[in-house]
Copies of this chain bind each other. A is one copy, B any other.
Amino acid sequence: MDYRDAGVDIAAADAAKARIRRLARGTFNAAVLSDIGSFGGMFRPDLSRYAEPVLVASTDSVGTKVKVAAAAGVHDTVGQDIVNHCVNDILVQGAVPLFFLDYLALARMDPERVEAIVSGLARACSEAGCPLIGGETAEMPDLYAEGDYDLAGFIVGVVERARALTGERVRAGDHLLGLPSSGLHTNGYTLARRVLFERLGLDLHATVPELGSTLVQALLAPHRSYLAVLEPLLERDKIAALAHITGGGFQGNLPRVLPPGLGARIRLDAWTPPPLFRLIQRGGAVPVDEMYRTFNMGIGMVAFVSPADLHEVEHSLDRRGERSVLMGSVVEGEGVLLE
């Protein structure tokens, strides 16, 4: 009996690793000192422009969006998803990425599939200027059903301590500017799949007229990164706080940066949720409150902006082609009020 008899294919793992190494090298910058395949990734950060550099680290997974990817046989988009998700998660503290690592666990080590997933990681890493310096790819036939996999990411970024966004700069009267999402991003897929596939009986590959695309295209739209549009504003201290609208939705994520005694008021008529959200809401008879607690409803990032900075922020976003939505404000009180 050997490892292969037990369902673990070391030759396939070596083939996958060679493909990963090639893709990862394409994301490297001068700060990367090691090659993939060392025990750990080595990174020499240039912190010379920081008076007091603070490292910001985060981890997240694609959630059950991987089930849609596996069913569709499309694997590069979830790679982009997890990188952009992580980039946004540290951006809300004002941090820009330094490096990224991934954790990929599969039922079966399929080098083509691994390459597709990692090509998505590498593309998003390159776009974010965030080298992919390591990762783990594990074949675990006993833990994952045939065809399934899980994908998580780890990011480390840096921010000047005095510029870190912690919520402390949020004041009553600040405006909430919503930045559009590209779809469900990476949250709410368990509920979305139940409604779309089980309740409504929709086919993954069917064209849904109100979406203007197939269901799979709409569901696999990559989680977008807000780094490029927000970094220039962060550098000029024009943003008081940011909330990445992920698991927990508006009610779960806005309070993470609201100081004690302050709440958020959201005007639901400020924007129209895109058709995919309306389809889920109607198809599942999902209560409005539950929709905004689970999904991003078309707004993937909320910027808290003081009245004095609003015009400049809107102008900067506009010049970058970003259609922001003035969606509410910070008020005295507690919690998140949808009205």
Does A111 have its Cβ within 8 Å of any Cβ on chain B? no
**A191 interface neighbour in B3, B58, B102, B154, Cβ under 8 Å:** B3
**A63 interface neighbour in B1, B10, B138, B248, Cβ under 8 Å:** B138
- CB under 8 Å from chain B, chain A span 1-36: 1-3, 5-8, 10, 33-34
Interface-central residue, A136, A143, A194, A290, by most chain B CB under 10 Å: A143
| Interchain CA distance A58-B60 in the complex, whole Å | 16
> By the criterion CB–CB under 8 Å, are B44 and A54 in contact?
yes
| Interchain CA distance A88-B264 in the complex, whole Å | 45
The secondary-structure label for the interface of chain A is mixed
| Interchain CA distance A285-B40 in the complex, whole Å | 34
| Interchain CA distance A314-B193 in the complex, whole Å | 59
Query: Shortest CB–CB separation between residue A217 and chain B, in angstroms?
Result: 21
Interface-central residue, A37, A150, A287, by most chain B CB under 10 Å: A150
Query: Shortest CB–CB separation between residue A148 and chain B, in angstroms?
Result: 6
Residues of B within 8 A of A54 (CB): 33, 42-44
Query: Shortest CB–CB separation between residue A154 and chain B, in angstroms?
Result: 4
Does A164 have its Cβ within 8 Å of any Cβ on chain B? yes
> By the criterion CB–CB under 8 Å, are A142 and B44 in contact?
no
> By the criterion CB–CB under 8 Å, are A60 and B190 in contact?
no
Does A278 have its Cβ within 8 Å of any Cβ on chain B? no
> By the criterion CB–CB under 8 Å, are A55 and B38 in contact?
no
**A44 interface neighbour in B52, B155, B290, Cβ under 8 Å:** B52
Residues of B within 8 A of A138 (CB): 61, 63
Does A239 have its Cβ within 8 Å of any Cβ on chain B? no
> By the criterion CB–CB under 8 Å, are A40 and B1 in contact?
no
> By the criterion CB–CB under 8 Å, are B193 and A142 in contact?
yes
Chain A 125-155 per-residue mask, 1 if CB under 8 angstroms from chain B, else 0:
0000000011110101111110010101011
> By the criterion CB–CB under 8 Å, are A195 and B1 in contact?
yes
Instruction: List A residues at the B interface (Cβ < 8 Å).
Output: 1-3, 5-8, 10, 33-34, 37-45, 52-61, 63-64, 66-67, 89-90, 92-93, 95, 98-99, 101-103, 105, 133-136, 138, 140-145, 148, 150, 152, 154-157, 159, 161, 164, 166, 188, 190-191, 193-195, 199, 244, 248, 256, 284-287, 290, 293-294
CB<8 Å pairs between A and B, sample of 24: A1-B194, A1-B195, A2-B287, A3-B294, A6-B193, A8-B191, A38-B166, A39-B58, A39-B244, A40-B57, A40-B89, A40-B155, A40-B157, A42-B164, A43-B57, A59-B134, A61-B105, A61-B138, A63-B138, A64-B143, A103-B152, A140-B150, A143-B150, A152-B152
Top-10 shortest CB links A-B: A40-B58, A1-B284, A154-B154, A6-B191, A40-B56, A103-B152, A6-B194, A40-B90, A2-B290, A43-B55
* Seed contacts A39-B58, A40-B155, A43-B55; 15 additional CB < 8 Å A-B pairs: A1-B194, A2-B286, A2-B290, A3-B188, A3-B290, A5-B191, A6-B191, A7-B190, A39-B256, A40-B56, A40-B95, A41-B57, A42-B54, A136-B152, A154-B154
